[in-house]
Homo-oligomer: A and B are copies of this chain.
Amino acid sequence: MQIVFALYEGFTPLDAVGPHEVLSRLPGVTTVFAAAERGPVRSDGTLTVSADAALDELDRCDVLVVPGGPGTREVVLGDQRYVDWVRRVHRTTRWTTSVCSGSLILGAAGLLDGLPATTHWGARKQLEATGATYVPERVVTAGKIVTAAGVSAGIDMALTLAARIGGDVAAQAIQLWIEYDPRPPFDSGSLPKACPEVLDFVTAHLATG
């Protein structure tokens, strides 16, 4: 079973690395980080990762993971090759997934029209513009398409998927191995829980970054 993480300039690292940490531990899978060209791919910050395959070298995969990040804007607006590749490879997948605003790329490929889906809370209007119905949940499954909410939600998505692929015991064992027994020191991880002061900070320092 081949799992492809399809990167582009400006992706958010945790969107890809979270699911990779889970899915790569399933027995019998191989994982590939791919991008338009082989070689270094700059994320949305200081992290640069290596793509070990060019997208055009891959004409199929079993599981596709499309991360989000500020770079989705350029992909959706101007990288028709990436969007076409997603549409083409989707025909071969067992599961097509996205994390965060990666769902906007699935939407641009025409894969979400009329389907329930999720995304980063800040991208919900853009998601609906692709024809999807935004659902404010961590993980939304519609047939073989699985979308996750913002950034860290990719870990929950991947555990859900790991159970579908390898069974509940495998998923639980991976959860134990990555010690995913979360204890956030605050309870501010979703829009309804955030106070006005926190929202002001997001607007001033994060949403523009």
For A32, give the chain B residue with the smallest CB separation.
B46
In the complex, the chain B residue whose C-beta lies closest to that of A153 is B179
Instruction: State whether A48 touches B49 (Cβ < 8 A).
Output: yes
Binary B-proximity of A22-33 (CB < 8 A = 1, otherwise 0) = 001101001111
Q: Which of A57-81 contact B (CB under 8 A)?
A: none
A152, B179: Cβ atoms closer than 8 Å: yes
Rounded to whole angstroms, the CA-CA distance of A106 and B190 in the bound complex is 35
Whether A45 contacts B20 in the complex (CB less than 8 A), given A120-B179, A175-B184, A202-B177, comes out as: yes
Interface residues on A, range: 35 or more
Say if the beta carbon of A143 comes within 8 Å of chain B: no
Confirm or deny: A172 has a beta carbon within 8 angstroms of a beta carbon on chain B: yes
Chain B residue nearest to A176 in the complex (CB): B194
- Taking CB atoms, residues of chain B closer than 8 Å to A90 are none
CB A106 to nearest CB in B, in angstroms, measures 18
In the complex, which residues of chain B have a beta carbon less than 8 angstroms from the beta carbon of A18?
14, 17-18
Given contacts A20-B47, A47-B20, contact A155 B179 (CB under 8 A): no
Query: Given the complex, which residues of B lie within 8 Å of A150, measured CB to CB?
Result: 177-179
Which residue of chain B has its CB nearest to the CB of A209? B25
Bound CA–CA A193/B208 (angstroms): 40
Q: Which residues on the B side are within 8 Å of A48 (C-beta)?
A: 49-50, 52
Residues from chain B with a CB closer than 8 A to the CB of A138 are: 181, 183
> A177 and B159: CB pair below 8 A?
no
Nearest 10 CB-CB pairings of A with B = A181-B189, A150-B179, A172-B188, A173-B201, A182-B182, A151-B178, A48-B50, A14-B21, A181-B190, A17-B17
